[in-house]
């Protein structure tokens, strides 16, 4: 009995709901029909203004309070829709959000992207571990060194296919060349031949002592040199900047080597006379008739200290004859160290005065 009553109640509620929905639909249809019945058939309505101009109640003798209330409600609803639509129009559409970016110049875009990329790299480097930072700094240092090494290379004036063979050269001929590289023992010069020539540090000048060729030259400098010797089979070329007269004097001294004093015959404190053949920043080389030249340091000269800060060339000159004593003899290295001050170990000569 209770079950049947529940079923009847459910059916009644369902029927009432359907009846209410039907009534609402009919009322809405009637209102829409009344609305469109007031519009002129030949006019399209897209806005409240068009609707106002198309209403028939504007004609004379067709005005009522019900129509006014209805039209006011329609206008209010239509205005609300327009305000909502205008708010939506004020908001940028998805395709309008990047309108400023699209309007930029392509070069400006690339610059902005590059700056953002660099900024991201810097931020990443700040957060990287210490080991990675050290490794990156070492790589940067190596790249910098390689770049400096590449930039220091001198461009050769001629390609290797258009070079002169060594067999076409003649000894003592003067040629112009370009310095390619510097070493501790000399300079390599490109003179347009099939191989670079070596200008030894001892063949640069005899006027001063040169510790390193960088004191006089740098890569890329042009120099005038003279062919000293060459060997086409070994592909070697020796150059010099010394005058021919100096080489001839050296050759003459070498020819007189048989008449020279042997190094074994020279002892410490021996008195010798010699001629200065070269003056350097540290002293002078003296030819004493021995098979090797001796070196006199500028501090062992008697005139040292008379003028403070004076260069050895101011109190020693090439060709000057001096009296020296051997202060050290090195047979293994074949060197003689000299002094121009009389050693204190030698006896002092005394003269007797007679009245």
pLDDT tens profile 98-122 = 777 788 888 988 999 999 999 998 8
71-105 confidence digits (pLDDT tens): 566 556 666 666 665 655 555 555 555 777 788 88
What's the pLDDT at 91?
54
What's the pLDDT at 56?
43
| Region 9-33 average pLDDT | 63
What's the pLDDT at 122?
87
- Answer yes or no: is pLDDT of 129 > 90: no
What's the pLDDT at 75?
57
What's the pLDDT at 197?
92
- Tell me which of 324 and 159 has the higher pLDDT: 324
Q: Is 309 left (phi over 0), alpha (psi -120 to 50) or beta?
A: left
Half-sphere exposure of 18 (CA within 13 A, CB side): 6
- Answer yes or no: is pLDDT of 298 > 60: yes
User: At 238, which helix (H) or strand (E)?
Assistant: strand 236-240
User: What band does 245 get if pLDDT is binned at 50, 70 and 90?
Assistant: confident
What's the pLDDT at 58?
45
The alpha helices in 103-228, defined as continuous H runs, are 106-127, 130-152
- Answer yes or no: is pLDDT of 321 > 80: yes
User: At 197, which helix (H) or strand (E)?
Assistant: strand 197-200
Distance separating alpha carbons of residues 337 and 287, to the nearest angstrom? 12
- Answer yes or no: is pLDDT of 246 > 80: no
63, 55 Cβ separation under 8 angstroms: no
| Region 300-318 average pLDDT | 84
**What is residue 340's DSSP assignment?**
S
What's the pLDDT at 239?
93
What's the pLDDT at 38?
47
Buried b or exposed e, range 268-284, using 16+ CB within 10 angstroms? eeeebebebbbbbeebb
What's the pLDDT at 249?
66
Distance separating alpha carbons of residues 321 and 319, to the nearest angstrom? 6
Pick from 180, 194, 175, 188: nearest CA to 232 = 194
136-164 confidence digits (pLDDT tens): 889 999 999 988 887 777 778 778 778 88
What's the CA angle centered on 206, arms 181 and 330, to 5 degrees?
100
Distance separating alpha carbons of residues 99 and 95, to the nearest angstrom? 7
What's the pLDDT at 2?
58
Q: Is 142 left (phi over 0), alpha (psi -120 to 50) or beta?
A: alpha
- Averaged confidence pLDDT in the chain: 76
User: What band does 8 get if pLDDT is binned at 50, 70 and 90?
Assistant: low
| Region 14-30 average pLDDT | 63
Buried b or exposed e, range 215-248, using 16+ CB within 10 angstroms? ebbeeeeebebbbbebeeeeeebbbbbeeeeeee
What's the pLDDT at 81?
60
160-194 confidence digits (pLDDT tens): 778 888 888 888 889 999 998 889 889 999 998 88
269, 326 Cβ separation under 8 angstroms: yes
Distance separating alpha carbons of residues 285 and 206, to the nearest angstrom? 10
Distance separating alpha carbons of residues 302 and 340, to the nearest angstrom? 6
């Amino acid at each position: 009995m209770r079950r049947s009553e529940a079923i009847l109640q459910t059916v009644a509620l369902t029927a009432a709901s359907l009846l209410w929905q039907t009534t609402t639909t009919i009322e809405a249809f009637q209102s829409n029909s009344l609305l469109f019945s007031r519009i002129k058939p030949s006019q399209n309505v897209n806005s409240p203004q068009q609707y106002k101009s198309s209403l028939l109640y504007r004609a004379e003798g067709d005005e009522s309070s019900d129509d006014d209330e209805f039209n006011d409600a329609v206008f209010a609803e239509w205005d609300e829709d327009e305000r909502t639509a205008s708010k939506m129009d004020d908001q940028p559409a998805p395709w309008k959000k990047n309108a400023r970016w699209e309007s930029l110049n392509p070069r400006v875009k690339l610059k902005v992207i590059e700056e953002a990329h660099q900024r991201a790299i810097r931020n990443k480097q700040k957060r990287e571990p210490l080991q990675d930072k050290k490794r990156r700094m070492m790589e940067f240092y190596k790249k910098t060194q390689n770049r400096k090494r590449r930039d220091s290379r001198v461009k050769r004036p001629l390609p290797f296919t258009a070079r002169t063979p060594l067999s076409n050269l003649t000894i003592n001929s003067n040629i112009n060349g370009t310095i390619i590289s510097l070493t501790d023992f000399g300079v390599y010069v490109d003179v347009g031949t099939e191989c670079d020539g070596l200008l030894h540090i001892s063949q640069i000048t005899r006027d001063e002592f040169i510790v390193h060729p960088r004191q006089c030259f740098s890569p890329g400098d042009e120099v005038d040199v003279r062919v000293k010797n060459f060997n086409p089979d070994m592909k070697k070329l020796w150059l010099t900047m010394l005058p021919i007269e100096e080489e001839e004097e050296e050759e003459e001294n070498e020819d007189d080597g048989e008449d020279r004093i042997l190094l074994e015959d020279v002892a410490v404190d021996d008195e010798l006379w010699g001629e200065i053949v070269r003056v350097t920043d540290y002293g002078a080389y003296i030819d004493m008739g021995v098979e090797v030249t001796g070196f006199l340091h500028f501090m062992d000269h008697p005139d040292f200290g008379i003028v403070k800060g004076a260069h050895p060339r101011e109190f020693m000159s090439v060709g000057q004859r001096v009296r020296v004593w051997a202060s050290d003899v090195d047979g293994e290295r074949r060197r003689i160290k000299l002094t121009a001050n009389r050693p204190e170990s030698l006896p002092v000569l005394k003269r007797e005065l007679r009245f």
